[in-house]
Amino acid sequence: MRNLKQVIRDAKVGRSAVGHFNISDSTQFNAIIGTSSKLKLPVIVGVSEGEKKFIGLENAIALVKGAQARGVEVYLNLDHGHSVDDCKEAIDAGFDSVMFDGSKLSFEENVEHTKEVVEYAQGRSPAWCKATQDDQNASILVEGELGYIGSSSKMLDAVPEEVESAMTTAEQAVRFVEETGVDILAPSVGNLHGMLKGLQNPAIDTSRIKEIADSVPETMLVLHGGSGVTDQDFVKAIESGISIVHINTEIRRAYRAGIEQAFKDDSEQISPYKYLNKGRDAVSEIVERRLELFAIR
């Protein structure tokens, strides 16, 4: 099995991107890896702090390791770790990558904490490496965030002001990457977490992505807040240098809608496998559409 770094590098060379989808439970996990296997495309599964707490760290690891052992190219990411300790816990547990979210800190503090996580991850490998002896060279990747992209995957009434005013510059990106040594960078390029109610999310500043990508050519770029972005913007963003795309809100919305539909169809239903499966199928549909789009070229 390729390690995550190779997967992202290969996507970059092929001018495509790897899909990153968040999960809260094993039903969503099964939808995601089922689609990944069907399309024969690698996939990253992410858990934020709340999601990790709900599913359980050990359960998340066990699900991913089990699927990897069956040949599915699935990788586990800690999404938006807000403390260094949180990231260290995920590194110790053997995640493939961790993201330290220092976007609310000053530039200097963000650099300091991100760097601490990068140093801690050095020489440590994902859980599946220990189990399979598959790739002793694989190390856990660290992602940092720079600029404002909002904070939660929910339905929004309006675009937060900072989305325009706090975009990442190429100059900041260079300084941040040099000072922290991150493998992956999440810039602010007009993207935002969550989806607008009844409106299109703002356009992605693809020329800014290109500028940042050219300035930090060794760093992998990730686009957070992919829910609500137009297909056209995704294609342009990937062509401009994005190698990972995060989708969360769309998954949450589809999961709930699928389960609601199951109860509309049969309000007396009490078997979880007969209503959760509708949620699972709705998630699979989103994942399939997104993976196919990100894999274009």
- 194/253 Cα distance (integer angstroms): 11
- Give the whole-angstrom CA distance, residue 215 versus residue 169: 10
**Selection from 180, 168, 191, 166 nearest residue 219 by Cα:** 180
Q: How far is the CB of 118 from Zn ion (least distance, A)?
A: 19
Which listed range, 8-16, 65-73, 224-232, 265-273, lies at the site for Zn ion (CB under 5 A)? 224-232
Instruction: Name the residue number minimizing CB distance to Zn ion.
Output: 224
Tokens of 156: 């929004």
Q: Which is nearer to Zn ion, 35 or 48 (CB)?
A: 48
Between CA 187 and CA 31 the distance in angstroms is 29
Question: Which of 65/224 has CB closer to Zn ion?
Answer: 224
Of the two residues 95 and 128, which places its CB atom closer to Zn ion in the complex? Answer: 95
Instruction: Give the C-alpha separation, 234 to 247, whole Å.
Output: 12
Q: Which is nearer to Zn ion, 224 or 278 (CB)?
A: 224
CB atoms within 10 A of CB 131: 12
- Report how far residue 18's alpha carbon sits from residue 290's, in angstroms, rounded to the nearest whole number: 10
Choose one: 26-34, 123-131, 221-229, 279-287; the region binding Zn ion (CB under 5 A).
221-229
CB of 249 to Zn ion, least distance (A): 10
Per DSSP, helices labelled H in 133-199 are 162-165, 170-180
DSSP 277-295: HHHHHHHHHHHHHHHHHHT
- Closest approach, Cβ 20 to Zn ion, in A, equals 9
Which sequence positions are flagged as catalytic? 79
* Exposure on the CB side of residue 161, measured as CA atoms within 13 A: 0
* 208 contributes a contact to Zn ion by CB under 5 A: no
The piece of 116-124, 223-231, 236-244, 271-279 that touches Zn ion (CB under 5 A) is 223-231
Q: Is 224 in the site for Zn ion (CB under 5 A)?
A: yes
Q: Which is nearer to Zn ion, 129 or 222 (CB)?
A: 222
Cβ at position 151, least distance to Zn ion in Å: 9
User: Binding residues for Zn ion, how many (CB under 5 A)?
Assistant: 1
Residue 217 beta carbon to Zn ion: minimum distance, rounded to whole angstroms: 23
Which stretches of the chain bind Zn ion, using CB under 5 A? Answer: 224
